[in-house]
Amino acid sequence: MTQHLTVPARPFPFELDPTRTAVIVVDMQNDFGSPGGMFERAGVDISSIQAIVPNVAAVLSAARGARIPVVYLKMAFKPDLSDAGFPSAPNWLRHAHFHAGDEVTAPKGQPSRILIRDTWNTDIVDELAPRDSDPIVYKSRFSGFYETELDELLKASGIERLIVVGATTSVCVDSTVRDAMFRDYHCLVVEDAIAEPIALEAPRSNHEASLLTFELLFAQLAPTADVIAALGATAPVPA
């Protein structure tokens, strides 16, 4: 039996059938959200990303309770950097600034590498660790759809609607949401479960600017509390 749920969203309500909906978790990995990761090593303030972890966790818990699948995206290059555009492509040059590929020591002492697959740096933060059944999609560009299996994976499961959480708002979340819309997916962005450290203190932050374009053109917006209430969750929303 088809179940229809409604999230009160902007600019209009987001209607969903749990059997045709998936949650996309964008890049909630140590390189962006943990001490010792790429951002923190580069002097980027990761507090805004850390702050959304409880809300992301609440959305994931509610989604799983409603039997909505959860798909994780990871920004991570192959060890030989062959998918990064090394040594001269714009994609590589943007990441070389952050010392992508460098060998580092993870907080617990194990060897690791910045933005490289299957290392501590690209592991999902502990509080949001995937379950064994959750698909993980590696991406080498900002969008989760660029030369990945994401579109095929979603279409094979009959997914038409996406609930999007993660980081960072104006880069990988934005790129993924735009590409999803271009592929005719309906997107609900959980506005307090995404974060952007860039220009956080500007008169209009990158985060706010992206929320505006989402609402105007690319997606619908709703806060965590309304999403988990619509999904039938009973747990309180984190402050």
Query: Is 27 among the residues known to form the active site?
Result: yes
Q: What region, left, alpha or beta, does residue 162 occupy, with left being phi > 0 and alpha being psi -120 to 50 degrees? A: beta
Question: Which of the residues 27, 31, 174, 192 is marked catalytic?
Answer: 27
Which residues in 139-178 are b (16+ Cβ under 10 Å) and which e?
bbbbbbbeebebbeebeeeebbbbbbbbbbbbbbbbbbbb
187 is catalytic: no
Q: Which two tokens stand for residue 78?
A: 């192959």
**Annotation marks residue 172 as catalytic:** yes
Catalytic site residue from 172, 179, 187, 226? 172
Strand 70-75 versus strand 5-7 pairing type: unpaired
Task: Choose the catalytic residue: 139, 179, 192, 226.
Answer: 139
Q: Which residues are catalytic?
A: 27, 139, 172
